Amino acid sequence: MKQRLGALTLVVRDYDEALTYYTEVLGFEKREDTPLGEGKRWVVVTPPGAQETSLLLAQAATPAQVASVGNQAGGRVFLFLHTDDFWRDYHAFRRRGVQFLEEPRQEAYGTVAVFADLYGNRWDLLEPIHP
């Protein structure tokens, strides 16, 4: 049996704002942007070269969803962006205005630094020692 995570839902304030950030600032690829009616869209992005998991950008539609924007993991690191070249991506992200919450550090598992996306969700940018 083989299973995999196909997509993770990321609740966002606005489709277009999120799509712009993830494609222009983080360099993700837009895989789909399909209208579903009544203002809803199916918006999917992936990191460059990703074949497995994608992000489904879902615009908040209820007060509870609005309250979760930027805090989907209760203040913990929510998503882990693996890279094959930490320093390339770290410097590119900084040039494009990504807010890193700490200095890069070397850990037993790889080179890592925490950054916040435009909503405040915490991410690890990580070059693992063993990809």
Confidence of residue 118 (pLDDT cuts 50, 70, 90): very high
**Residue 122, domain extent:** 72-130
Q: Are residues 107 and 50 in the same domain?
A: no
Tens of pLDDT along 73-117? 999 999 999 999 999 999 999 999 999 999 999 999 999 999 999
CATH code, domain with 81: 3.10.180.10
Chosen domain end from 21, 43, 69: 69
pLDDT score, position 53: 92
Q: Are residues 60 and 77 in the same domain?
A: no
Q: Are residues 56 and 85 in the same domain?
A: no
* Element (DSSP H or E) covering residue 31: strand 29-37
What is the model's pTM? 0.92
How many structural domains are present in the chain? 2
* Element (DSSP H or E) covering residue 17: helix 15-20
Q: Are residues 60 and 76 in the same domain?
A: no
pLDDT score, position 131: 61
User: Would you give the DSSP letter of residue 75?
Assistant: T
Q: Are residues 24 and 54 in the same domain?
A: yes
Half-sphere exposure at residue 66, Cβ-oriented, CA atoms within 13 angstroms: 3
Tens of pLDDT along 2-55? 888 899 999 999 999 999 999 999 999 999 999 999 999 999 999 998 988 999
Cβ-proximal residues to 53 (8 Å cutoff; 6+ apart), any chain:
4, 5, 6, 7, 8, 46
Chosen domain end from 69, 91, 111: 69
The answer, yes or no, to whether residue 1 has pLDDT greater than 90, is no
